[in-house]
Amino acid sequence: MSAVLAEGQDKRSTAEVLPVALAAMGVVFGDIGTSPLYTMKEVFNVHHGLAVTPANVLGVLSLVFWALTIVVSLKYVVYITRADNRGEGGIMALTSLALRTTRSPRLASLMSAVGLFGAALFYGDGVITPAISVLSAVEGLEVATPAFRPFVLPISLVVLTGLFVIQSKGTARVGAVFGPVMLFWFATLGVLGAMNVVRHPDVLQAFNPLHAVHFFAANKGIGFLALGAIVLAITGGEALYADMGHFGRRPIKLAWFGFVFPALYLNYLGQGALILDDPSAVKNPFYLLVPDPLLYPMVGLSTLATIIASQAVISGAFSLTKQAVQLGYSPRVHVIHTSEKEVGQIYVPNVNWMLLGAVIALVLGFRSSSALASAYGIAVTLTMMIDTVLAFVVVRALWKWGWGSALAFVAVFLTVDFAFFAANTVKIFDGGWFPLVLGLFIHALLMIWKRGRAALTERMQVDTMPLDLFIQSMFHDPPIRVPGTGVFMTTAPDGVPRALLHNLLHNKVLHARVVLVTMITDDVPYVPASERVQVEELDFGFYRVFVRYGFKDDPDIPAALALAEGQGLPFVLMESSFFLGRETLIPRAGSLLGRWREQIFILMFRNAHSAADFFCIPANRVVEFGTQIEL
C-alpha cells in the first residue's frame, strides 16, 4: 500500500490544502521547530571540546542542513510517508504493514517486538521533549539578566505542571490557535536568521557538503561525537510520519518544503553567522540573535512554542496507549474524550500523571537544558533506525521494489541513522540511560501483558465447553427461557463463556436470545461501519456476533449490536442484559509466564479499567459473575 496512491487520491486544490498545512504546523512541526533553541548551543558546548572556528561553524551548519535533508526531507517526507496504513502513519502503522509481508510466525514475532520497542521509546521522548524544550525557552531570561537565574527552574516547573493539569480540559479550543502561533514562530525564526545572514553571507557556503567532509577530517573523533548534538536538529522528524493521519501527506509535504524547512535552516544559518562574528555567542546563540528590546517577548513566544511542541508529544502518548490497548499489548485504561467532534482528541489520566511525575523528576535531576541534552537523542535515533528497518521490509515486500533499489534505500538511511545512534551511545552514562531504561521498562510491561493474556486465554480454553455440544444439550433438557436478550462477551467464539454457565447455574434461566460477542482488532486504524459486524444465527435462539475495530477505533458494543439489526438480530438496549466475567487470578507453580512475570501480570490485571466502561455498556445493563482462575 503506497501513499503514492494516497496522494494521487487527494483531489484537493492548493487553496484547500493550505489551511490544512497551516493546522499541521501547530501539531506536526512543534518538536523539530523548537530545536534551534538548543542545538547550536549544545554542539559547541565547552564540555564537548569542539573549537569555535570558522571552519567548524561551517562544518556544523553543513551537517545540520544535510541531516535535515537526508533524514527528514528524503527519508520521512518523501519516502516513509508513502507507507500509510489506510492514511495513518507512525511506527505502529508501519509495523502493521511490515507484518503483512511475512507468513513466518517467528519473523512476525521478531518484527512485532522490534516495532513495539520503538513505540515504547516514544514515551521516553514524551518525557524529555517537554522538559528540555520548556527549560530552553525559560533560560532565555538568563540572557536578559543573570538575576533571573534562580527563577528559571521554578518557572519551568510551574509551566510544565500547568501544561499537564490542563490536559483534562482537552486541546480543542487551544488547538485552534496552534497553527497561527507556529506560523508566526517559524516566520520569526526565518527573519531573525536572515538578518544575520545578510551581515555575514559567508555562512551560505554551508550548503556545500565538502564542509561537512572537511569537518570530520579535521576533528576526527570529536567531530564524530559532535553528531550526538547535531541530531538535536532532527528530533521530531518521526512526528511528520506519526501525525500524517490527522492531515494527510500532501499538506505536511507542502508545509515542510514550502515554509518550515527554509525558515528553520535560515535560523541555524543566522546563529552560525552570529558565532562567526562573536565566538562568545555560543553560550546561547538563539537568544543572542534577538534584539534587546524584543528579548522578553521572544522568551514568551518561545515558551508558547515549546508548550505546543510538548502538547503534540503528550497527545501522541495518549494515542499510542489507546492503540496498545486495542492491539492487546496493554490492560484497559480510562480514556476520556475531550471533543464531541474529533474522535482522536483523548485524555488518559494515568498516562498524564505518570508523564508529569517523570518530567518533574527529570527537571529536578538535570536542572538545565544542557544537562538534559545528554539524555536526549539516543531514544530518537534508535526509533529512527527501527523505522528504517521496517520501511525496508515494506518497500521490498509490499511495494515490490527490486533488491538493488531496496538495498540502496536501507544502506543510505541506515548508515546515517546508525552514525547518529553510535555518536549518542557516549551519552548513555551521562543521562542517555534514562529514555533507554524507560523504553525497556514499558516494552517489558507490554510484552508481559501480551503473553499473560495469551496464557490466560489458553488456561480458560482448557475448561471451556464446546458451544455446539452445549446447544445440542439444550434440546434434551431445555432451561426456562425469559424474554429479552442476554449478551455475553467472549474471546473464544467456539466455546461457552463462563459467565453464561454461571448464569444458568445460579439463575436457572436463559434469555430468549443469547448473543455471544467476540471483538476483533484488525491491523488497520479504522474499520468502516459497513464492515463492523458479522452475525451468525445458530440453533436454539443463539447468535454469534463478530465485531471488528481498528486500532484507533473506540469500542462501543451497544452501537455495534444496533448495526446487527440489519443482519437479522433484533436488539433493544433496554431489553438486553450484558453478562461479564470478573476473573480473580491466582498464581500457581509451573505457570507459563514464570514467577516474576506472573506477579506483574496479575498486578496489571487487577488494575485494568472496567470492561463495562471500555465497551461503553451502560452500568444499569451489566451483570458480573466472579470466577477464580489459576494461571
Task: For the chain, give the longest Cα–Cα distance.
Answer: 95
Least confident of 138-147, 180-189, 363-372, 607-616: 138-147
Residue 560 pLDDT class (50, 70, 90 cuts): very high
According to the model, what pLDDT value does residue 6 have?
42
Q: Name the DSSP class of 6.
A: H
Rounded Cα distance between 567 and 217, Å, is 71
> Terminal CA-to-CA distance of the chain, rounded, Å?
41
Count CB neighbours of 4 within 10 A.
12
Side-chain-side CA neighbours of 568 within 13 Å: the count stands at 10
Tens-digit pLDDT profile for residues 261-298 = 999 999 999 999 999 999 999 988 999 999 988 989 99
- Domain borders along the chain are 3-86+123-371, 466-630
Are the CB atoms for 266 and 200 separated by under 8 Å?
Answer: no
Between strands 533-537 and 542-549, the pairing is: antiparallel
Highest mean pLDDT among 422-431, 532-541, 586-595: 532-541
Stated pTM of the model: 0.83
Rounded Cα distance between 426 and 420, Å, is 11
Q: Averaged over 247-258, what is the pLDDT?
A: 87
C-alpha cell, 593: 509466564
Residue 176 pLDDT class (50, 70, 90 cuts): low
Q: Averaged over 52-81, what is the pLDDT?
A: 93
> Which residues, in sequence order, are CB contacts of 303 under 8 Å at separation 6+?
134, 137, 138, 159
Nearest to residue 178, comparing CAs of 311, 315, 2, 366? 311
Rounded Cα distance between 564 and 517, Å, is 11
> Which residues, in sequence order, are CB contacts of 508 under 8 Å at separation 6+?
479, 480
Task: Kindly tell me if the per-residue pLDDT of 175 is higher than 80.
Answer: no
The answer to whether the Cα torsion of 547, 552, 555, 556 is positive or negative is negative
Rounded Cα distance between 533 and 553, Å, is 14
- Cα 258 to Cα 20, 78, 183, 254, 418, distances in angstroms: 13, 14, 12, 5, 29
- 3-state SS assignment for residue 399: coil
Q: Which residue has the higher pLDDT, 68 or 341?
A: 68
Rounded Cα distance between 32 and 417, Å, is 17
Residue 3 pLDDT class (50, 70, 90 cuts): very low
C-alpha cell, 194: 536572515
Instruction: Compute φ and ψ for 510, nearest 5 degrees.
Output: -130, 150
Nearest to residue 344, comparing CAs of 374, 320, 327? 320
Rounded Cα distance between 457 and 518, Å, is 13
Concatenated DSSP letters of 276-339: HH-GGGGGSHHHHTS-GGGHHHHHHHHHHHHHHHHHHHHHHHHHHHHHHHHTTSS-----EE--
Rounded Cα distance between 138 and 151, Å, is 9
Residue 10 pLDDT class (50, 70, 90 cuts): low
C-alpha cell, 303: 515558551
Side-chain-side CA neighbours of 219 within 13 Å: the count stands at 24
Tens-digit pLDDT profile for residues 82-106 = 887 777 777 888 888 888 877 778 8
Are the CB atoms for 79 and 73 separated by under 8 Å?
Answer: no
According to the model, what pLDDT value does residue 344 have?
57
DSSP-assigned beta bridge partners for residue 544: 516, 536
Amino acid at 448: I
Are the CB atoms for 543 and 569 separated by under 8 Å?
Answer: yes
Task: Kindly tell me if the per-residue pLDDT of 415 is higher than 70.
Answer: yes
Rounded Cα distance between 615 and 213, Å, is 58
Are the CB atoms for 318 and 353 separated by under 8 Å?
Answer: no
Residue 375 backbone zone (phi > 0: left; psi -120 to 50: alpha; other: beta): alpha
Q: Averaged over 304-309, what is the pLDDT?
A: 86
Between strands 336-337 and 346-347, the pairing is: antiparallel
Print burial letters for 319-340: b (CB count within 10 Å at least 16), e (below 16): bbbbbbbbbebbbbbebeebee
The radius of gyration of the chain from alpha carbons, rounded to an integer in Å, stands at 27
Burial grade of 222 (CB within 10 A; 0-12, 13-18, 19 or more) = middle
* Mean pLDDT (the chain, rounded): 86
According to the model, what pLDDT value does residue 214 have?
94
Least confident of 235-239, 326-330, 436-440: 235-239
Task: Kindly tell me if the per-residue pLDDT of 140 is higher than 90.
Answer: no
Task: Kindly tell me if the per-residue pLDDT of 7 is higher than 60.
Answer: no
DSSP-assigned beta bridge partners for residue 510: 481
DSSP-assigned beta bridge partners for residue 539: none
Element (H, E) at 520: strand 509-521
> Which residues, in sequence order, are CB contacts of 256 under 8 Å at separation 6+?
29, 72, 73, 77, 240
Instruction: Compute φ and ψ for 8, nearest 5 degrees.
Output: -65, -30
Q: Averaged over 167-179, what is the pLDDT?
A: 66
Task: Kindly tell me if the per-residue pLDDT of 243 is higher than 80.
Answer: no
Rounded Cα distance between 336 and 351, Å, is 12
According to the model, what pLDDT value does residue 471 have?
87
Instruction: Compute φ and ψ for 478, nearest 5 degrees.
Output: -65, 135
According to the model, what pLDDT value does residue 65 have?
96
> Which residues, in sequence order, are CB contacts of 429 under 8 Å at separation 6+?
none
C-alpha cell, 157: 516547573
According to the model, what pLDDT value does residue 5 have?
37
According to the model, what pLDDT value does residue 20 have?
78
Rounded Cα distance between 398 and 392, Å, is 10
- Cα 210 to Cα 59, 77, 217, 229, 276, distances in angstroms: 8, 25, 10, 20, 19
According to the model, what pLDDT value does residue 188 have?
95
Residue 513 pLDDT class (50, 70, 90 cuts): very high
Element (H, E) at 93: helix 91-99
Least confident of 72-86, 227-241, 242-256, 380-394: 242-256
Tens-digit pLDDT profile for residues 209-229 = 999 999 999 998 888 888 988
> Which residues, in sequence order, are CB contacts of 325 under 8 Å at separation 6+?
331, 332, 333
Rounded Cα distance between 20 and 24, Å, is 6
According to the model, what pLDDT value does residue 590 have?
65
Q: Averaged over 568-579, what is the pLDDT?
A: 91
Tens-digit pLDDT profile for residues 314-357 = 888 888 888 888 888 889 888 887 765 555 567 889 899 999 99
According to the model, what pLDDT value does residue 1 have?
34
Count CB neighbours of 543 within 10 A.
22
